[in-house]
Structure 1
């Protein structure tokens, strides 16, 4: 069964004490590693990079991001016109984009100083499962 990417919606609650950001529908039990991406400028697109085996989850901890995902049909020479899934996420809610195994991603900051939390289900070096393609490879 192929899994498709999905947005797991979070929310926020505000009262006299401040703001609470939460995502009660996100199951973090598979997470083994986390890191944060901060692009240097708004024009830069970090991509296309992905994994046959590993999954990723993305959440904006500050700012806004455009996340594009493509399911790879052939890892040695993918088709250039594959379907693109696009998500716009920001730090106003604790939304999480789930990237199943078999996808590559392109990540672009939409505001300066944006930070993207990345969660992975494998530890660094646990698998050799990283694939990269030129940012202009796919016809978007």
Structure 2
């Protein structure tokens, strides 16, 4: 399975704005949390999961998300292909990250907030992999 954007939308009238995503099935979600980077220089990279899936949604501002599919978790290829996605808070779009990927998260606007959803509870399985920021080219 490949990473993909699940598009949302919004409706606006005299009362305000309603952002929605009617195509997102949240039935697999067991845990949620929010990431707020200290400033725009911070890049949270590279962390991923062999088993877990993640869903990212920018609830404030925008983010550049880089993803790499990992085939060999003990010795990943430093020249692996990097996929890039830009997500923002305008239409409640959700980036689905299937199992088998590592990610880099970088806010591109001040005070940005990223909602992260996962399909396993914290500590339910041992499935966290981290690599140095400069490991991948």
What TM-score range do you get, normalising by the shorter chain?
Answer: over 0.9
C-alpha deviation, 1:120, in angstroms: 0.2
Cα shift at 1:74 = 0.6
Q: d(CA) in 1 for partners of 2:78 and 2:136?
A: 4
Name the counterpart of 2:136: 138
Secondary structure at the counterpart of residue 137 of structure 1: coil
Measured after TM superposition, the shift of residue 83 of structure 1 is: 1.4
Match of 1:19 among 13, 17, 20: 17
1:22-60 CA-partner distances (Å, limit 9, x unpaired): 011111010000000000111111010000000000000
Q: Give the Cα–Cα distance (whole angstroms) in 2 for the partners of residues 23 and 83 of structure 1.
A: 29
Question: Could you say what secondary structure the match of 1:138 adopts?
Answer: coil
**1:107 counterpart = 2:105:** yes
Gaps of at least 5 residues in structure 2 are none
Please state how far the C-alpha of 1:93 moved relative to its aligned partner.
1.1
Q: After the TM superposition, which parts of structure 1 deviate over 2 Å for at least 4 consecutive aligned residues? A: none
Structure 1 match to 2:54:
56
Structure 1: tracts of 5 or more residues without a match: none
Partner of 1:123: 121
Structure 1 length as normaliser, TM-score? 0.96
TM (norm. structure 2) is 0.98
Tell me how far apart the structure 2 counterparts of residues 82 and 24 of structure 1 sit (CA, whole Å): 34
* Superposition CA RMSD, Å: 0.6
